[in-house]
Every structure is written in C-alpha cells, then in structure tokens.
C-alpha cells in the first residue's frame, strides 16, 4: 500500500481545498454569505466525469481547536487535541450556527449546484439524467434529494434513490446502481432499471450541521462538510465484475449515530437492518439501522481504537471475499493475469486504512491505495466519491477499480469494476 502525499507550499503548509487552481469559488447568500467551492473533473477516455466540493469556512489543524471550543462552550484540554495530521487530515469545512430554515436553504442550494455541475461535467443537460442516487448520513430534510433534484432541473420522472448507511451511503448507492443481485424485496431492481442510462451517484454530507450539538470531542475534530457526485452509464462506462454488501450490527455502540430519517428501530433475527420504502414509482429510500446515543445526541464515538475494532476485521473479510470472487471472474474469462489497478476506500482515517492494508497482506492481497483527502477531514459518505474523482484523470480504459465503502451501523459495500 502506498500513501499519496499531500502537496505542500514552500513554507511546508498543506494547501486548503479552496486554494486548488481549478476550484470554482462562490458565496451562497444565506446568513450573510457562506463560502462554496466546487471542482469539476472529467476523463473523456472513460466517458466519466463529476464534481465535488465543500461549503463553509476552512479550518486547518491549528485553527480547529478554537472552533471546537466555541462549539463546546468550554476549553479543550491539551490531551483532547487530536494529532490530525497523522490521521491524514489537515483541513475541514464548517458553518456557523444557523436556523433550521437557513440550514435547509443552504444545503438545498449547494446540493443543487453540485448535481448541476456534475451533469455539466459529463456533457449532460440536467433533463438528460435518468437516475440520481445519493448517500447521506443525516439529511437536513426527509425530501432532500427531491428538493435538490428539482432545483437542479432534473425531470420528475428520473429515479431518485436516497441511501442512509452512514459513511457507506455513496458506495451502497453505487452497488445498487451496478449490481442486479441487490434487488430490493417487493420493489424495483435499481440496477436493471438504470442499466445503460445516465446516472449520477455520490454523497452529500452536511456534517458541520450534524455535529453542531455534539459533545464528542473527537467527532467535532474529525468531521466536516463535503460532497461528491459522478456520472456513470451502468454496464457501459462502469461494469460490475464482483460485489458484496454486508451488515454487521454494532451491538457495543462503538460508533453511535442518531437516525435523522425514518426507521422502525427494530432488530428482527434473520432480517436485514435495512428498511426500504418506495413512496412513488420514482422515489426510493434505503434506511439503515444505527446504534443511537441514548441521550439524543447526534454522535458518540468510542475513540480511535474503537473505530479500528469496529471497521477493520469485518472490513478485511468483505474485501477479501470480494477480491476472491473477482479472481474467479478473471480466471473464468481467461484474464487470470489481470489485477486491481487502484482502490478507492472510505477515508475514516489513514491509520484505519493502513491497518486494513496490513491485514489484507496476511491474506496475500496487496492493493495500490492512494490517500487523497488531506484537505477535507472525514466527510462520511462523500469521501469515496471525492477520492474517486481525485483519482479519475489517472485511470485508463480497461483499468479495474475496487471501491471499499464502510460505515456506522455497520455496513459494508465493496465492488470490483471495469472502467471505460
């Protein structure tokens, strides 16, 4: 496994996302103005493009403790200040405290602009889009996807799928778009419905809003706003070779997350933790059960070692199972020499992915896994989408990419795909 080192200035400082040369900066006219940055990325050889970005004020690791103290209304002890650079994070984006109406308007506007820019990057008019699948951990409203799709100009008949599987949301969405074996019981088969059509997939995470009332000092330092969406034509520009989706309920509550979306909160033996609702022929919601904090707080973490315990063992199992299935597919197709060219993994933090890499080596599996999000922090379901777009220009037609998504709950979606 290799680390993709972040660029640095002459002074040794890691630049912020807003300082990237191709980022389009603007101001959303909410609460006196909120900064918004979006970068478009395309690869014409693959026929894939998209857009990603962030909104709010940028805080580097030096400025962040002061912001966290403001949120907590209390000073941070020296031992509470995390060494975020060794976890791979140098910046994250936060917004001030807003009213509910301001939060809604802000996130609808940034989401709509993102969908519009992602469609434009692909050379599509918004009305050309046949489906949009978005992962989001804590939606600002129950109809968020419908609101941003309408404002972006997508037609009403376009299929909308919202996936609430915490940090795994965008990869759960991509798996649904590519894998017909993940048919939703009693509902439409999303992959069959969208095969050969123009589809936008990604994650949008307003985590500054979500964590604004948290008391967990680690969560307040790790998470920030981020979003990323890319366009694919399932079966054409991106083809599934092997894929797995797994659930493993977090009984210990190592990462407790409040569910700001409908769920019965029931655990039925032998039944999926996911509850799927289809409010209309074109609107599907996939909601994952979370171990919620008992005091109603948005998020409570067991610490960094708790996150390692939560994600690494099962995560290695799912990646190993998917890779073995991928090897079988390659051997049956007469391409036994072919291997994975790049891995796009959720950036919970660098140490978790480093340890996963070491554990995979014990299984005889070694992947090229670049680290790409030093200027964001943990952006949950948006991280894989952003990491993919950051790597997109370097991917060649015929390359095989492994997507590794995992999130609280816990949920895992791992896919090996062929590009172009």
| Rounded (5°) CA angle 404-410-415 | 20
CB-neighbour burial class of residue 141 (10 A; exposed 0-12, middle 13-18, buried 19+)? middle
Please give the Cα distance from 282 to 211 (Å, whole number): 31
Closest CA to 222 of 297, 296, 300: 300
Query: Which pLDDT belongs to residue 2?
Result: 38
> Percent of the chain at pLDDT above 90?
91
pTM: 0.96
Q: What is the pLDDT of residue 7?
A: 59
3-state secondary structure of 385: helix
The reported pLDDT for the residue numbered 31 is 94
Domains of the chain: 17-419 (3.40.47.10)
Cα 169 to Cα 409: distance, rounded to the nearest angstrom = 11
The CA-atom distances, in angstroms, between 46 and each of 122, 132, 231, 345, 397 are 11, 20, 11, 20, 6
- Tell me, what's the pLDDT at 3? 42
Residue 187's pLDDT band (cuts 50, 70, 90): confident
- pLDDT band with cut points at 50, 70 and 90 for residue 137: very high
Q: Look at residue 13 in the predicted model and tell me its pLDDT.
A: 81
Cβ(385)–Cβ(201) below 8 Å = yes
Q: What is the pLDDT of residues 334-383, one digit of tens each?
A: 999 999 999 999 999 999 999 999 999 999 999 988 888 999 999 999 99
Q: What is the pLDDT of residues 188-211, one digit of tens each?
A: 899 999 999 999 999 999 999 999
The pLDDT of 47-63, averaged and rounded, is 98
Q: What is the mean pLDDT of residues 300-328?
A: 95
What confidence tier does 4 reach under pLDDT thresholds 50, 70, 90? Answer: very low
């Amino acid at each position: 496994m290799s680390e993709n080192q972040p660029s640095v200035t002459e002074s040794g400082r890691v630049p912020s996302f807003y300082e990237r040369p191709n980022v389009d900066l603007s101001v959303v006219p909410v609460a006196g103005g909120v900064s918004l940055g979006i970068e478009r990325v395309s690869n014409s050889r693959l026929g894939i493009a998209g857009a990603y970005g962030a909104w709010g004020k940028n805080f580097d690791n030096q400025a962040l403790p002061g912001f966290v103290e403001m949120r907590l209304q209390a000073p941070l002890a020296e031992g509470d200040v995390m060494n975020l650079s060794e976890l791979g994070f140098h910046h994250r984006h936060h917004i001030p405290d807003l009213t509910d109406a301001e939060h809604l308007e802000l996130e609808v506007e940034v989401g709509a602009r993102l969908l519009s820019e992602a469609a434009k990057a692909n050379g599509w008019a918004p009305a050309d889009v046949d489906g949009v699948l978005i992962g989001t951990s804590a939606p600002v409203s129950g109809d968020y996807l419908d609101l941003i799709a309408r404002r972006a100009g997508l037609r009403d008949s376009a299929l909308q799928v919202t996936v609430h599987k915490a940090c795994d949301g965008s990869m759960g969405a991509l798996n649904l778009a590519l894998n017909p074996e993940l048919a939703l019981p009693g509902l439409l088969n999303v992959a069959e419905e969208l095969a050969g059509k123009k589809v936008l997939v990604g994650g949008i995470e307003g985590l500054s809003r979500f964590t604004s009332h948290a008391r967990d000092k680690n969560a307040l330092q790790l998470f920030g706003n981020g979003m990323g969406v890319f366009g694919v034509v399932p079966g054409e520009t991106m083809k599934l070779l092997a894929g797995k989706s797994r659930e493993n309920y977090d009984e210990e509550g190592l990462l407790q997350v409040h569910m700001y979306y409908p769920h019965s909160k029931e655990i039925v033996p032998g039944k999926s933790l996911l509850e799927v609702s289809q409010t209309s022929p074109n609107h599907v919601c996939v909601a994952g059960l979370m171990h919620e904090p008992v005091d109603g707080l948005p998020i409570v973490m067991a610490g960094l070692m708790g996150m390692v315990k939560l994600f690494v063992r099962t995560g290695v199992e799912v990646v190993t199972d998917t890779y073995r299935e991928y090897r079988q597919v390659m051997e049956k197709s007469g391409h036994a020499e072919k291997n994975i060219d790049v891995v796009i993994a959720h950036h919970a933090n660098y140490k978790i992915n480093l340890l996963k890499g070491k554990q995979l080596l014990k299984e005889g599996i070694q992947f090229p896994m670049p680290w790409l999000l030093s200027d964001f922090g943990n952006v949950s379901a948006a991280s894989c989408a952003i990491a993919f777009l950051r790597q997109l220009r370097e991917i060649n037609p015929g390359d095989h990419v492994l997507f590794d998504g995992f999130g609280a709950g816990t949920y895992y979606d791992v896919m090996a795909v062929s590009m172009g």
